[in-house]
Structure 1
Amino acid sequence: MARPTPQQEGFALKPLGYGDPLRLGPYRIIGTLGEGGMGKVYLGRDGSGEVAAVKVLRPELAHETHMSQRFVREAQAAQAVRSKGVARVLTAQTDGGAPFIATEFLAGPTLDRAVERHGPFPEPEVRALGAALARTLGDIHAAGLVHRDLKPSNIVLTSGGPRIIDFGIARPEHGLTLTTTGQAPVTPGYGAPEQVLGQRTGPPGDVFALGAVLVFAASGERAYQGDQIAVVQYEVVHGEPRLEGVPEALVPLIAPCLTRDAAQRPQPAQITSALAPPRDGRQLWKKGGLGDDIAEAESAAKQLATFPPAPGSQNGTAATGPAAGSAAPPPADSPTRRRVLTGLAAGGTLLVAGGGTAWWLTREEPPRRAHPWFALPLQDGEYEEGRAPEPLWGPRDVAFAQSPAPLVSRDLVVVGGKRDARVTAFSVRDGKRKWVSEAAFYQPLFAASPRLIVTGGSDGQLFGVDARTGAVERRHPTGMSVLLAVDARAAYCLVEDEVRCVELVSGKVRWRKPAPLDEFSGGRGISATAAGGLLVLATAKDAAIALDVRTGGKVWSRPGGSTGAGVPPVTAGGEVYLGGQSLSAVRLRDGEEQWSVPAEVNEGWSGPAVQGDAVYASAGSEVRCRGRRDGREVWRREVDGGVFAGGRPVAEGNTVWVTLKETAGVAALDTRTGRAAWVRRHKDGGSVRMTGAGNRVFLLTEGKLTAMPVI
């Protein structure tokens, strides 16, 4: 069965349904663009052919005083700002009839979609983005308003530059919060500390949000992170922003925006002056892949404005009488509305601003992939049960035989290259080589950020490699024997009988602690993971210990429940999952056991894999699925030939993969039922190292790399 191409996965403009208006003010309604809690957004066209996004308050809310007042305030706020950096309000009707706001039709991706598709912006482009946004914030503040909800999804990138949208919770500078204290509408990680605390938010709150937006644009990561909203908000109020992925030259310009003291943040005009983009940086919106996306969307938007008059209308005005349902057919070379809208939707890049609110054209069914570089999972009928499908690409003879497991970083898969074990990156889509670094690769690979890959050489050097180019950005002599773990700020190494924390930027040893010999048998077989401000260490000697990454001080320790030598613990949702003699979940912050299941076989549990609400681990010849929250068994399945106990399963898509013990190969099981989807034998034999990401599983066997599909 043929698999659909990305172009066939189009978006669709929804047709008008029962109760939808045919006309709002001067606009004939063409179709529905989207809907939310407050109302619907329609595509409209006036008598001159100009298209607009028309936002309408839901009828059931129109009579609620609070909602109608907010709707009026949104229209007034958007109209009050005279700036080319915001979505222009064309007209608004808030008294009598159906309240609506019509804004210009913006074509282009939001900032969050642009970063997802094309990766973090280079420094000149971040400067151009920041200067333009700061200039627009200055215009908003000059109108006496505070936006209060600046974030990547509220920034549309057009050929004329970034446009700020959504004035739904904008307020006059002197105004109080919209809701009661503690309930102010805040987007986690972008709302300023004073906004999180429910205090009055002025222009400095928008400056804080701008700083967080620029961190995201420059690094692809949020400045404040956490697995729960409360954790993110706590970090905003009490923690420090994560700036490790931001180019060094930009850190002193962005960091002041994120100062907790609102009075110490710079003014928008100061930000515009300090960022001072180079001349070519101002062309961000017209070049490269992003420029192509914007140009394609704008071309399609122009076609929308050239539709022939609707049946039964004259110059865009609805006709009445017996002839209202008929009209002359359009010229033969004139595009039909359906054809243009379908073609427009297929690209998936068109965004509109409806009353300031961004609405992507809605899909007919949920997306099958979250990012452009994700593969399409196999559907029923696209593979034969029990028989391994053809690889997406490979095998490619790309790595040295003993290369550690590959690392996937966004659209790259990184391994130790064939020649001199140099760090080498390949495209996840087709396996084509992207770059070869000077960094020698004899240690595991880690992604400190979307821009920085960290590994170590045979001489004990710590390398930081630019994920975009392969250039070595960091080179620090450490004398390490094992690179244990990496987070955004530091690398954690085993050096003789010490565990050391080495700062990625400076190479300075932040702290060093003796390896806990009583618990780790001399440090042999040690494995680790860094998460939530802790370094969690484990060994085959059934012990686990957590150290504070800032000081190296011990936070908690517990006997039993290790993952086995060389297989790091897994963290997810504020918990640590461990294998060994028991499969267990312990709370990350204090080590308190949440649940534990003793092993039924001598070799114990493998290292676990966590996906969604499930934990997967093997024991003997069985693969088992257990509930992540309570450890209850969901299913167990026997695997012919047994499962190699020294590794851990890889869960990707609706498959969980395990390495076979007695025969060279891997088995893939359906995560929903545990049934064996297929077994894949390896002719060359040898051990298998696996990594899963983006609806692919990458198999590295004897230096050969293969990308396999999932279901």
Structure 2
Amino acid sequence: MHGEPVWDDVPETLRTLIAPLLAKDPAARPAPDAIVKSFAPPRGADRDWRRGPVAEDIKKREEDVRALLAPTQPSVGLQVSRRRLLTGFAAGGTLLATAGGTAAWLLRSQTTKKPDLFAFPPAVKTPAARVLSADEGDFVVGEPPKPLWGPVRVLHADSPAPLPVRDVIVFGAAAGGLAAHNVVDGKRRWAAADVHAPGRYLSLSDCLIAAVGTDGKLLTFVASTGEPKWTAPAEAAWLLAADDEAVYVVTKDRRVRAVGRSDARIRWTVELSASLAGKTGPRGVAGRGRLVVATVDGDVVALDTSDGRKVWDLRSQSEGLVRPAVADDTVYLNGRTLTARALADGKERWTAEVKLVSGENPPWGPPMVHGQFVFAVQGDWPRRLNRGDGSTGEWEALYKGGRLGPIVAQGSGWWTIQDTARREVQAVDVENGRLVWSYEQKSPKSSWITADGNRVFVVGDAELTALPVF
């Protein structure tokens, strides 16, 4: 009535038959006798389905359609949807009338084919929380906010950082395996037992979750429901990254491997001279035909995603683990410096100005790209830099932030963890760097933060808390 039909799953040969039925003006729609005539099968079309369960199903559908269209029989109580009506027409011969003998094959395959492991429902819309306003009395500047939910003790001690994916947040479960909880209220949605959560997990287009199985297989699950999908014998130890074409893993024998997302087949496997062994494993990001791998000894290697060929590398970028971030055609690397490099060839675009602290140049924490800026903590001080040239402009944080943790942006602020004994989560106005509120963690031994949908998710040891944003 108010929009245009979505034809994505309708074969071209059927559109000329179905389109008139969807005309907005009732006068333009064909009468029932014209519909029956248009959808009538040719002679002999019934030979492929004369007997068996398919014939019985077709007969039942034809009876429903005749009852619906017959002018002498009311259709009250006959619950036949438009989808079933069109399916009934197809059963009566639509496909034969338009595509010859392929119809019989299609009808047979509908009753015998296995579920398509590479087809999955579209992702649900992220349920966004309300943004708080000090002007409306939602909070008092300087006072800690009330959590949206939590803390709940649900994480395993070795769980990687929680991963928000639309309406769920995924993490390593306290009892082992993988778990997903509602982002709205923190309640359990689903769990998968045979997952090695320390091997990490990834979002595939916000529809599937990729994870490492306890046997090294690459596993996938529908993000919202946990329904298992395709698997691949990847012999994986850690997941690195994913793009539209493949999932990239580090194998148990420390090689890099690409697994196709469309067929679960191994595309390529390569060995790197750089070290990929370590307790937590290397990190990676993918974009624009490049897989950037940050090794455990502080080197960075970029591979061509089509064949695994090394394209460029950067040695001794960090004394510890680099956590690269990608935006458009640029990769941002932390460590001894904060530097922006071209994804294609590794050419330096800029390196941030050195800020000495007590005569030393402290390392940079993980970068976060937000809009036209890059946020990162150098030593204890969060900084905002221009994406184009690395300049700081007139803005720098007025409060200390955590050296090891990330910065996340959500709402009108950016969030970090103060690296002190109290371990406070600090929310700072993104425009002026002024502290808006601090939230003290009850379990401060190990901390991490991530954000999505106007929520900031805080990890403290095995506890998970969701905070509001302003």
Go from structure 1 to structure 2 and tell me whether the alpha carbon gap of 1:136 and 1:701 turns closer, same or farther (over 3 Å shift). same
Q: Which residue pairs with 1:512 in the alignment?
A: 269
- Deviation per residue, 1:275-302 (Å, 9 max, x gap): 88989xxxxxxxxxx9xxxxxxxxxxxx
2:223 corresponds in structure 1 to 467
Q: Corresponding residue for 2:414?
A: 656
2:402 pairs with one of 644, 647, 653: 644
SS of the residue 2:9 aligns to: helix
**Deviation, structure 1 residue 569:** 0.9
* Change over 3 Å in CA distance of 1:162–1:511 after alignment to 2: farther
Matched, 1:389 2:145: yes
> Where in structure 2 are the equivalents of 1:593-672 lying within 5 Å?
593-600=348-355, 601-634=360-393, 635-640=395-400, 643-663=401-421, 664-672=423-431
Please tell me the residue identity of whatever aligns with 1:417: A
- The question of whether the paired residues in 1 share the 8 Å contact of 2:210 and 2:221 is answered with yes
Equivalent runs, 1:129-528 vs 2, <5 Å? 130-131=9-10, 135-136=14-15, 373-381=127-135, 382-419=138-175, 421-440=176-195, 441-495=197-251, 496-504=253-261, 506-517=263-274, 520=275, 526-528=282-284
Distance 1:531 1:162, change over 3 A: farther
Question: CA separation in 2, counterparts of 1:619 and 1:137?
Answer: 63
Question: How far off its partner does 1:457 sit?
Answer: 3.4
1:591 partner amino acid? G
The CA RMSD over aligned residues, in Å, is 3.5
Total equivalences in the alignment: 374
Contact 1:516 1:522 in 2 (8 A): no
Q: Is the 8 A contact 1:439 1:463 kept in 2?
A: no
Contact 1:685 1:701 in 2 (8 A): yes
Pair 523,685 (structure 1): closer, same or farther in 2 beyond 3 Å: closer
CA contact (8 A) 2:376 2:406 kept: yes
Unaligned runs of 5+ in 1: 1-105, 112-127, 143-159, 165-267, 280-289, 291-369
TM-score normalised by length of structure 2: 0.70
State how far apart, in whole Å, the 1-side matches of 2:248 and 2:268 are.
Answer: 10
Give the counterpart of 1:703 among 440, 457, 462. Answer: 462
Secondary structure of the 1:442 match is: helix
Question: Per-residue CA shift, 1:597-617, capped at 9, x if unaligned?
Answer: 154344411110001111100
CA distance 1:130–1:460, shift in 2 (3 Å): closer
**Aligned mates of 2:278, 2:190 — CA distance in 1:** 35
Measure the CA separation in 1 of the matches of 2:23 and 2:469: 38
Q: Which has the higher helix share?
A: 1
Alignment of 1:553-632 (within 5 A): 553-559=309-315, 561=317, 564-565=320-321, 567-600=322-355, 601-632=360-391
After TM superposition, give the deviation of residue 462 of structure 1 in Å: 2.0
Shift of 1:139: 7.7
How many angstroms apart in 1 are the aligned matches of 2:216 and 2:354?
Answer: 37
Given that residues 560 and 582 in structure 1 are in contact (C-alpha distance below 8 angstroms), is that contact kept between their aligned partners in structure 2?
no
Query: TM-score, normalised to structure 1's length?
Result: 0.48
1:134 CA displacement: 6.6
Aligned counterpart, 1:72: none
Cα pair distance change 1:677/1:507, threshold 3 Å: same
Larger CA deviation: 670-679 vs 455-464: 455-464
Q: Cα distance 1:270–1:429, how it changes in 2: closer, same or farther (>3 A)?
A: farther
Cα offset, 1:410, TM superposition: 1.4
- What's the % identity of the aligned pairs? 32
Matched, 1:545 2:301: yes
Question: Following the alignment from structure 1 to structure 2, what is the Cα–Cα distance between the partners of residues 109 and 380?
Answer: 42
Q: Could you say which residue in structure 2 is the equivalent of 1:191?
A: none
Residue 544 of structure 1, CA deviation: 2.2
State the one-letter code of the partner of 2:397: R
Q: Secondary structure at the match of 2:338?
A: strand
SS of residue in 1 equivalent to 2:250: strand
For 2:329, the aligned partner's letter is G
CA separation of 1:603 and 1:476: change in aligned 2, threshold 3 A: farther
Q: Residue 513 of structure 1 contacts residue 552 of structure 1 at CA under 8 Å; is this kept in 2?
A: yes
Mapping for residues 101-140 of structure 1, pairs under 5 Å: 106-107=1-2, 130-131=9-10, 135-136=14-15
Please, which of 445, 449, 465 is the counterpart of residue 690 of structure 1?
Answer: 449
